[in-house]
Amino acid sequence: MTATTPRVAVVTGGARGIGAATARRLAADGHAVAVLDLREEQAAQTAAHIVSDGGRALAVGVDVADAAAVEAAVTRVRDEVGAPTILVNNAGILRDNLLFKMSEDDWDSVISVHLRGAFLMTRAVQAHMVEARWGRVVNLSSTSALGNRGQANYSAAKAGIQGFTKTLAIELGKFGITANAVAPGVVATDMIRETAERVGVSFEDFLAGMAKDVPVGRVGQPEDIAAAVAFFCSEEAGFVSGQVLYVAGGPRA
């Protein structure tokens, strides 16, 4: 196995769930981690957890859909931790509704955070990757990219993430930068808990119902997704680019 070279990683949406698990995993792999999130206090908790385990971490509050805020955040990471060469675009929100009930704000908000956010973050961080002639971009898609009732906005955003990822792989490959996407299925996170509350079902019953459709017989845990992300960020993944890995406990198209 190739030894891990310590890098500086940026994880958006790192305050909780998949983002927090990914930040912890990358720190355990030896990287310094900048935990970016709109929820700065929760991001600080994730960073503190990493530091208590002997790692290096910085929490930064940022709206990834705000271009000026993104530039300022990446500059702060560079100045306080080092030039980032790993980027995990995980920040996301849900505004689920059937199409005829979906407002323009529901649509715009989801597209903005997922797609505009990934674009702005990648544009800001890639400059450091190009300079280093090495980089890893991992974008979080979803099985919803294949279509999901009540998620026209989210499905469109996550499908867009896949096209964005493949284009990054083509444009950035000559600089030693890979770009890949991880598409989780149902994962036990606070975001899913909020979905269960919205439909009036207990979290446990909601997960149990979802698990019935998963071949391995359970829903995912944040650490399952973090492991897949960590592979794409590794030295060993240098010849893997432009790929979408469905981490959903069973096959997806």
Which residues are known catalytic residues?
A: 154
Say how far apart CA 26 and CA 240 lie, in whole Å: 18
Q: Which residues of 47-73 are buried (b: 16+ CB within 10 A; e: fewer)?
A: bebbeeeebbbbbbbbbbbbeebbeeb
Q: Where are the alpha helices (DSSP H) in 37-151?
A: 40-52, 67-80, 104-111, 117-132
| Residue bearing tokens 């310590």 | 6
Sequence-distant (6+) residues with CB within 8 A of 81 are: 8, 32, 34, 56, 58
Residue 52 structure tokens: 């208590």
* Residue-by-residue DSSP string for 138-177: EEE--GGGG--TTBHHHHHHHHHHHHHHHHHHHHHGGGTE
> With contact defined as beta carbons under 8 Å apart, do 245 and 184 qualify?
no
Say how far apart CA 200 and CA 120 lie, in whole Å: 36
Residue 122 structure tokens: 């990648």
Q: How many CA atoms lie within 13 A of 105 on its CB side?
A: 0
